[in-house]
Amino acid sequence: MTKGSVKPAQLEQFRRLSTCLVASAIETFRVRLPNTGFANSSIKCIFRDQLAIAGYAATARMRSSNPRMEAGKSYDYYDRTDWWNEILTIPAPRVVVIEDVDTPPGLGAFVGEVHANILLALGCIGIVTNGAVRDLADIRPTEFQMFAGNVSVSHAYSHVFDFGGTVDKVPAAAREIRQRRQNLVGLRRSAGFTLDKLRQTIRDTAVSYQESK
């Protein structure tokens, strides 16, 4: 999302959007093929009893299979204080989005008890990653939410090597798609439903959508 701010009421509206609606909204931007760019079933909600989260994305990329390649650098995954500074440039509430670029991802967990508490101190409310997390029992009471590909007992060589990428802006497109869906579902439930009316509504909503872009 852009480095601006929205009113708390607007952010709450975004939090209530379904993930399927968000995925459909992203497709309308045509920035990638519709069969790419979304999280598949390998990424799971770790704490299912907690509320959904919404915030501004603080992005990064990481590896854990091999040590850092820079000369003289250790593999200590707490040493990227420059990344922490970048996080603070993003409006709160913040959601950390980390891509694990290893093949396969998730050998080592980047976020455990210590890093979760560091991120909480930086105004982050959760993390989304295709990689691994750990220390679940210690993190659960903090209400820091996690979506991850798996759980690992070790952080291995986990380290951030890149950060600050952009994430698509979806709310406006999601609202448009939701309205189109409600029009079609509402017609199906109406007493005057016919296939001709359904076809016409689909044509009308497609024209309306194109004109709004």
Query: How many whole angstroms separate alpha carbon 43 and alpha carbon 150?
Result: 7
| Residue 198's pLDDT band (cuts 50, 70, 90) | confident
Yes or no: say if 175 and 84 are a contact pair by the CB < 8 Å rule: no
For the entire predicted model, the pTM comes to 0.73
Residue 168 has pLDDT above 70, yes or no: no
| Max mean pLDDT range (103-107, 157-161, 183-187) | 103-107
| Residue 172's pLDDT band (cuts 50, 70, 90) | low
pLDDT in tens, 22-80: 888 888 888 888 888 788 889 999 999 999 999 999 999 999 988 876 655 555 556 67
Three-state secondary structure of 136-148: HHHHHHHCCEEEE
Which distant-in-sequence residues (6+ apart) come within 8 Å of 3 by Cβ? 56, 89, 90, 91
Per CATH, domain 39-163 is 3.80.30.20? no
Which distant-in-sequence residues (6+ apart) come within 8 Å of 133 by Cβ? 46, 109, 110, 111, 112, 127, 139, 146, 148, 151, 152
The domain segmentation of the chain, as residue ranges, is 39-163, 171-212
